[in-house]
Amino acid sequence: MKLIVGLGNPGKEYINTRHNVGFMVLDKLAQIKNFSFKKSLIFNSYIARKKSFLQEVILLKPLIWMNNSGRCVQKVVKRYDLLITRDLLVVYDDLDLELGKMRFRIEGSSAGHKGMVSIIKSLNTDKICRLRIGIGRPKDKSKDLSEYVLSNFTSEEREVLNRVFIKAVACCWDWTEKPLDFIMRNYN
Q: Tell me: pLDDT of 170 over 90.
A: yes
Average pLDDT over residues 28-34: 96
Residue type (1 letter), 40: S
Q: Which pLDDT score is estimated for 144?
A: 86
What is the Cα–Cα distance from 68 to 62, expressed in whole angstroms? 9
Q: What is the pLDDT of residues 69-123, one digit of tens each?
A: 999 999 999 999 999 999 999 999 999 999 999 999 999 999 989 999 999 999 9
Cβ within 8 Å of residue 171, ≥6 positions away: 102, 104, 131, 183, 186, 187
What is the Cα–Cα distance from 40 to 16, expressed in whole angstroms? 22
The C-alpha angle 166, 157, 132, rounded to 5 degrees, equals 55
Is 86 within 8 Å of 16 (Cβ atoms)?
no
Domains delineated in the chain:
2-187 (3.40.50.1470)
Of 18, 19, 75, 114, catalytic: 19
Cβ within 8 Å of residue 177, ≥6 positions away: 52, 53, 54
Is 133 within 8 Å of 93 (Cβ atoms)?
yes
Q: What is the pLDDT of residues 35-75, one digit of tens each?
A: 999 999 999 999 999 987 778 999 999 999 999 999 999 99
**Which residue in 137, 140, 1, 145 sits closest to 81, CA to CA?**
1
What is the Cα–Cα distance from 9 to 83, expressed in whole angstroms? 26
Query: Catalytic site residue 19?
Result: yes
